Structure 1
Amino acid sequence: MITKEDVLQLHTLSIEHYGGSHGVRDTGMMESAVNRPYQEFETQPLYPTAIDQAAAIFESMIANHPFIDGNKRTGLLAMFALLDMNGIRLSASEENMYQFTIDVATGKMDVDEIASWLSENTY
């Protein structure tokens, strides 16, 4: 399970490494993005697999835009961390990851399409 503290740390690392402005723009939106992968309906998880959870946090971090800067980078890192916690690795090239991220950021992919892409590009 990835926590709010984990995501804040990933954001800090991203800003320190790649540049940009530190800071949370909207705490509620950040918490919403972090909690989304673990939502349930009538005790059934809405995102039952690690792939589904990674897709949910990635889409939410980008759509919610909780940070002043580095939302896509932080979303990617949170997605990678969630996959890694479950022993899942990405096999996509850097170029494919870039295009995937842009497609998500521009609304060309919904959470189900993100999960499908991840399923096809992980091992």
Structure 2
Amino acid sequence: MGLLDFNRYATIKSVAESMLDAALLMSNATQLFGVIEQGPQFKYYIPLIVLISLSLILQTVIFALLVFAAKTNVNEIINQERLKKCNQITTILAGVCLLVNIFITSLDTQKKNY
């Protein structure tokens, strides 16, 4: 059994996270279209538009950070501090995105089916 290639591991991890981010992005896009279909008469129309838009922006930034991390060689010492900060920022933004999506889900369940 060979040594673990940390660069390959980090790249695979970033790609897997990006796929999860893409799934959430599609889910939020579907929610946004659903809210727009409900129209402005829906009680939580503006808050949901704002929260879903914020989530989409966060996901775009997270995706960009993950692409940067995947393309950067973790085995090079000079990159390690930058990747560490990138990973910390990505983790914080993912946590914020999670909280935003909890609020989206709680408000989205209030939609009426016409």
Do they superpose with TM above 0.5?
A: no
Instruction: Determine which structure has greater relative contact order: mean sequence separation of CA pairs < 8 Å that are 6+ residues apart, divided by chain length.
Output: 2
More helix by share: 2
- What TM-score do the two structures reach when normalised by structure 2? 0.28
Larger radius of gyration: 2
